[in-house]
Amino acid sequence: MACISIKDLEDLNEEDIDEDEILAMLSPEELKELQSEMDVIIAPDESVPVGQRQKDQTEKPPTGTFDHRSLVDYLYWEKESKRMLEEERVPATLLTKCLPPQEAPEEPETVEPNEKLPEKEERKIGKLKIPKLSLNNIKITSRPSGNDTNLESTLDKIRKNNPSITEVNLNNIENIPKEMLVDYVNALKKNKYVKTFSLANTGVDENIAFNLANMLRENRSITTLNIESNFITGKGIVAIIRCLQFNETLTELRFHNQRHMLGHHAEMEISRLLKANNTLLKMGYHFEQPGPRMVVTNILTRNLDRVLIEHDCPKKQTKPAVLFLCCFSQVPLPKALESSETSLL
């Protein structure tokens, strides 16, 4: 700031002082310093709202305009997730009955100061004997992924329903043409021997996901489907889950680590559609929302319990159960059970 002597200030009158000229002579740093001093000296105006009295001290550029619709959608899905979580949660009263009785904590043993602690024995650590690895059984392939599946011959065997092909592993194979992936999916529609189909990290997109959904409507042999680490969107995953209500053989489905996030709406739709499926036992995906996560966990537990009950109950007990219901409901017996009625009663 320019230095002005005291004598000059006494000689000057208020009318002779040109404030604009003085401010024009100041540098930007001096203007900031003057502004900070004026904020301390001058009392704030009470008529101005509190939020507008403080000057803006942020120097970062704005991130963007405010999106009200996105905020409303986010709050809606958060509310729906909490509602689903509350509906599926087990009451606290049932949990307290199942807890075992707590044992009294053991009191720590006290050691008198005169007693001597037992000396620890020194242990000698010998050298580790690391066996030599045998590299004779390792297959060397031309692909960086190490997957030596022959695409053309495997596809031809699937089309011919070869019983020797029970597992198709295309994981991590580089640059598979999209047309060949579609041919694999279409060939599996009528195949009766393939049990496992793996397509992890093969560039599967939404179009191939729709073909997989149509394949699951017709196929009756595949029990495991792995489509992890691909480019499938929420619409493709929902289409596959929707077709599971017509499929009674698939027991494991893995679709985690997709390039695109599924979103709250897709997770809600997956949890709703899975209620119509009674055979899926394993699902490889981490739900972001706790509500759909709890719903799907309960559905998979229900399906597993159903499988265990069907495995434990022998088939011979079905006829007496039908006869018992018919006797008490006064419904005529089926013809297949008329011959066994006298022997059972």
pLDDT at 63 over 80: no
Q: Which amino acid is at 344?
A: L
In angstroms, the CA 170 to CA 201 distance is 9
pLDDT recorded at residue 159: 95
| Whether 233 and 157 share a structural domain | yes
- If one compares 197 and 9, the residue with the highest pLDDT of the two is 197
| Whether 232 and 201 share a structural domain | yes
**Is residue 42 included in any domain, yes or no?**
no
pLDDT at 243 over 90: yes
The stretch 278-287 carries a mean pLDDT of 94
Place of tokens 């006829």: 319
| Whether 332 and 281 share a structural domain | no
| Whether 159 and 307 share a structural domain | yes
| Whether 232 and 332 share a structural domain | no
**Is residue 331 included in any domain, yes or no?**
yes
In angstroms, the CA 248 to CA 278 distance is 7
Counting the structural domains of the chain, the total is 2
- Residue 259 corresponds to which tokens in the numbers above? 């390039």
**Is residue 226 included in any domain, yes or no?**
yes
Quick: pLDDT tens for 224-242.
999 999 999 999 999 999 9
For 67, the enclosing helix (H) or strand (E) is none
| Whether 196 and 301 share a structural domain | yes
**Is residue 176 included in any domain, yes or no?**
yes
**Is residue 141 included in any domain, yes or no?**
no
| Whether 308 and 276 share a structural domain | yes
| Whether 201 and 330 share a structural domain | no
| Whether 224 and 338 share a structural domain | no
| Whether 216 and 345 share a structural domain | no
| Whether 186 and 239 share a structural domain | yes
Quick: pLDDT tens for 184-238.
999 999 999 999 999 999 999 999 999 999 999 999 999 999 999 999 999 999 9
**Is residue 85 included in any domain, yes or no?**
no
If DSSP states are collapsed to H, E and C, what string results for 9-52?
A: HHHCCCCCCCHHHHHHHCCHHHHHHHHHHHHHHCCCCCCCCHHH
| Whether 227 and 293 share a structural domain | yes
**Is residue 210 included in any domain, yes or no?**
yes
In angstroms, the CA 122 to CA 110 distance is 25
Residue 207's domain comprises 151-313
- CATH of residue 208: 3.80.10.10
**Is residue 15 included in any domain, yes or no?**
no
Contact 266, 240 (CB under 8 A): no
The whole-chain average pLDDT of the chain stands at 78
